[in-house]
């Protein structure tokens, strides 16, 4: 095989790699250690569709993080991980209780319902977090053929509003849900940020407190692409491998997904990346908190800062740094930090915000 350094390419760079924004941790590129791992896995032939050596090794790494019953099913993306998970946990007449702000409800194009064939039962929450009491607003009517049957409770860790469940809060949700015959799914698109925030292993707020299935996120934490459905309770799912294929989430060259997750999880890369992103969010929050006219809306517990400021200020600031409105009518915005956000990036943004406020 030719040395990669000698291979000719006509590809050209079409962007300035020095430009960073605060719109999404999906905007960041892949971590160099991830790219190195992909190159390491390249070359030669490996069995397709998950029977490769990298996917096999990933299983042992996942068990080390989540326990001996854990099994990982790598997929392409987070929506796919959530849809496959929820499909495997529900019947055709089943429903999933989730927060109104949940990603599966507002950011997946209706995929859980249209592709997954299930019903979402949403609950308004003040901070993105469900509680047993909030779950009970939708946890009823199991024998009513006129109502979709609640079978799963889905929570997000950390939440779409940047807040983090404690292990005890998730334990209470799991116990409450299981007592009512429901299973628990955890959307862990930013699970590493939650673990970094809590300072505990991921099993402390997943397998050890009763979570049945989780979607493990890699893309937002330095991977090029790729997530995994991690089954913690084998009795909670059916036909996972068949549903993964049916949902178009079975990679033929799966080694290139698995090796990225291996690179994250075999050492501490997943935690290093998350800790850095969280620290940059704290730096950003501290910087903007002192700016008159800016209100931070939720506790900054992971890598997101939600704020409210004058609409015209946000529009001018968006011309200098990319970010999104969260609720444009209210003037709410979301600023995200990633593994490659620097202190200089944060400080430049805070300075720009002060300048636009002063106008």
Domain at 69, CATH number? 3.40.640.10
- The number of folded domains in the chain is 2
CATH classification of the domain holding 326: 3.90.1150.10
| Domain endpoint, select from 214, 244, 265 | 265
Identify the pLDDT of residue 10: 79
Do 56 and 202 belong together in one domain? Answer: yes
Three-state SS for 122? strand
> Which residues of the chain are under the pLDDT cut of 70?
1-9
User: What domain range is 146 assigned to?
Assistant: 32-265
| Residues 295 and 260 grouped into a single domain | no
Dihedral angle, C-alpha 245, 249, 254, 259, nearest 10 °: -140
Q: Residue 301: what pLDDT?
A: 98
In angstroms, the Cα distances linking 287 to 182, 233, 264 are 43, 43, 30
Task: Decide which of 265, 289, 322 is a domain's last residue.
Answer: 265
pLDDT the model gives residue 1: 54
Q: Are residues 62 and 119 in the same domain?
A: yes
Q: What is the pLDDT of residue 11?
A: 83
Whether residues 288 and 317 fall in one domain: yes
Q: Are 158 and 251 contained in the same domain?
A: yes
Please tell me the distance from the alpha carbon of residue 246 to that of residue 191, in angstroms, as a whole number.
26
**Structural domain includes residue 8:** no
The beta-strand segments (E) located in 242-341 are 295-296, 304-308, 324-327, 332-336
**Whole-number pLDDT of residue 3:** 65
Domain match, 346 and 286 both: yes
């Amino acid at each position: 095989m030719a040395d990669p350094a000698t291979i000719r390419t006509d590809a050209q760079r079409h962007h300035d790699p020095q430009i960073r924004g605060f719109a999404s941790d999906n905007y960041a590129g892949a971590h160099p250690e991830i790219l190195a791992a992909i190159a390491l896995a390249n070359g030669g032939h490996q069995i397709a569709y998950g029977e490769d050596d990298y996917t096999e090794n990933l299983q042992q790494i996942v068990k080390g993080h989540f326990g001996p019953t854990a099994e990982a099913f790598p997929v392409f993306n987070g929506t796919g991980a959530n849809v496959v998970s929820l499909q495997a946990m529900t019947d055709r007449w089943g429903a999933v209780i989730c927060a109104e702000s949940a990603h599966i409800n507002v950011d997946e194009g209706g995929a859980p319902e249209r592709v997954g064939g299930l019903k979402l039962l949403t609950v308004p929450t003040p901070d993105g977090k469900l509680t047993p009491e909030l779950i009970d607003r939708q946890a009823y009517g199991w024998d009513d053929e006129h109502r979709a049957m609640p079978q799963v409770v889905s929570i997000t860790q950390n939440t779409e509003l940047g807040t983090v469940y404690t292990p005890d809060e998730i334990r209470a949700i799991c116990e409450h849900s299981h007592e009512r015959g429901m299973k628990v799914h955890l959307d862990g698109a930013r699970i590493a940020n939650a673990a970094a925030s809590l300072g505990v292993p991921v099993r402390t707020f997943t397998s050890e407190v009763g979570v049945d299935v989780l979607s493990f996120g890699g893309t937002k934490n330095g991977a090029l692409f790729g997530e995994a459905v991690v089954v913690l309770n084998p009795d909670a799912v059916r036909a996972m491998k068949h549903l993964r294929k049916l949902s178009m989430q079975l990679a033929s060259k799966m080694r290139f997904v698995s090796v990225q997750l291996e690179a994250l999880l075999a050492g501490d890369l997943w935690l290093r990346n998350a800790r850095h992103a969280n620290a940059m969010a704290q730096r950003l929050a501290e910087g903007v908190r002192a700016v008159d006219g800016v209100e931070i809306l939720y506790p900054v517990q992971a890598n997101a800062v939600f704020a409210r400021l004058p609409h015209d200020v946000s529009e001018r600031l968006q011309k200098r740094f990319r970010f999104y409105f969260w609720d444009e009518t209210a003037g709410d915005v979301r600023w995200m930090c990633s593994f490659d956000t620097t202190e200089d990036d944060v400080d430049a943004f805070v300075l720009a915000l002060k300048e636009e406020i002063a106008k």
